[in-house]
């Protein structure tokens, strides 16, 4: 983390972090699901070209951006980042990067949901490339070892992966991401045997009407940032296949057990893993730029 530092904007834009925080607080007051949305945006940004806000760039007639790829069609919260950026540009123009806004806003939303507070090293710069063809994110139907390959490629450990997926404690998923587990699992004509029967019934009720609604990934404390997710997957209540596999696969089950029984350990590790993820392939110094509008390259 040598290149990023906590308090990077202390002299160039002293109110930077409080301005971002105010925008997040305002949104959280009316929409508690913004925490899950920002966690997802941050993750999807960092896993493609590093944490450079390339996910925020809009497509043009010449090129289709990351936003248009399948996994990113359900990413939301862009207008919150725009709002924070607009407020920052008024106070200190061309100083605070969109990449740092995503990172700070995600942290602030985690705290509001009851999660750990942690210092975010800042100083990222914004990327100038966003290409739909570069989006290759680990999907919900992968096995633990397949998903881990993506995390390992980014310098993250198995412990980091299991920790970061704990963000699903405030998450939702659209039915099409898990409906294959509810009825004809892998052509068996039956639900996935690794899913609790009561949960199967509940999810069928949510997903049965032909549209594509969302279900909570943590059926217990859906808007609270806690370790309940790990307790649920230990009881066969993982909604997405990858979530359930974390509890069942020997590569990850021990970590799941530790987090399920120790809420403080999870909080501590989550803060550490988020800082580590936020450092993936960052642009610093004179690389990239500070975008004036997060949706458009200067």
Statement to judge: residues 83 and 108 lie in one domain: yes
CATH classification at residue 66: 1.10.520.10
- The annotation status of 200 as a binding-site residue, yes or no, is no
- The annotation status of 42 as a binding-site residue, yes or no, is no
- Does 42 participate in catalysis according to the annotation? no
pLDDT for residue 212: 81
- ∠ at Cα 187 (181, 189), nearest 5°? 75
Query: How many domains are there within the chain?
Result: 2
Calpha distance 284→287 (Å, rounded) = 6
Residue 284 included in any domain: no
Statement to judge: residues 46 and 96 lie in one domain: yes
pLDDT for residue 67: 96
The least confident of 41-45, 50-54, 59-63, 99-103 is 59-63
Identified catalytic residue from 40, 44, 49, 181? 44
pLDDT in tens, 143-175: 999 999 999 999 999 999 999 999 999 999 989
Long-range contacts formed by 188-193: CB under 8 A, 24+ apart: 192/241, 192/244
DSSP state of 31: -
Instruction: Write down the mean pLDDT value for the chain.
Output: 95
pLDDT in tens, 238-274: 999 999 999 999 999 999 999 999 999 999 999 999 9
**CA 119 distance to own-chain centroid:** 18
Q: State the residue range of the domain holding 52.
A: 5-137
pLDDT for residue 1: 46
- The annotation status of 188 as a binding-site residue, yes or no, is no
Contact 140, 178 (CB under 8 A): yes
CATH classification at residue 178: 1.10.420.10
Average pLDDT of the segment spanning 273-282: 96
């Amino acid at each position: 983390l040598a290149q990023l530092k906590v308090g990077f904007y202390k002299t160039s834009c002293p109110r930077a972090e409080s301005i971002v925080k105010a925008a997040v607080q305002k949104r959280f007051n009316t929409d508690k699901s913004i925490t899950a949305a920002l966690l997802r945006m941050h993750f999807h940004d960092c896993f493609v070209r590093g944490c450079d806000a390339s996910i925020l760039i809009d497509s043009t007639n010449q090129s289709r951006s990351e936003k248009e790829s399948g996994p990113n069609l359900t990413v939301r919260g862009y207008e919150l980042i725009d709002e924070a950026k607009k407020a920052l540009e008024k106070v200190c123009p061309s100083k605070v990067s969109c990449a740092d806004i995503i990172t700070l806003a995600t942290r602030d939303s985690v705290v509001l949901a009851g999660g750990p507070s942690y210092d975010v090293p800042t100083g990222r710069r914004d990327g100038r490339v966003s290409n739909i063809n570069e989006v290759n994110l680990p999907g919900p139907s992968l096995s633990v070892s397949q998903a881990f390959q993506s995390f390992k490629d980014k310098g993250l450990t198995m412990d980091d992966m299991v920790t970061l997926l704990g963000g699903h404690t405030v998450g939702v998923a659209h039915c099409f991401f898990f409906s294959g587990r509810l009825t004809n699992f892998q052509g068996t004509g039956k639900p996935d045997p690794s899913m609790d029967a009561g949960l199967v019934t509940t999810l069928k009720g949510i997903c049965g009407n032909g549209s594509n609604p969302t279900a909570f990934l943590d059926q217990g404390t859906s808007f609270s940032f806690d370790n309940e997710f790990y307790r649920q997957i230990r009881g066969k209540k993982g909604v997405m296949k990858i979530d359930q596999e974390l509890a069942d696969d020997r590569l990850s089950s021990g970590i799941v057990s530790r987090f399920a029984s120790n809420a403080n350990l999870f909080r501590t590790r989550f803060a550490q893993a988020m800082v580590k993820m936020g450092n993936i392939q960052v642009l610093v110094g004179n690389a990239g730029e500070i975008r004036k509008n997060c949706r458009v390259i200067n």
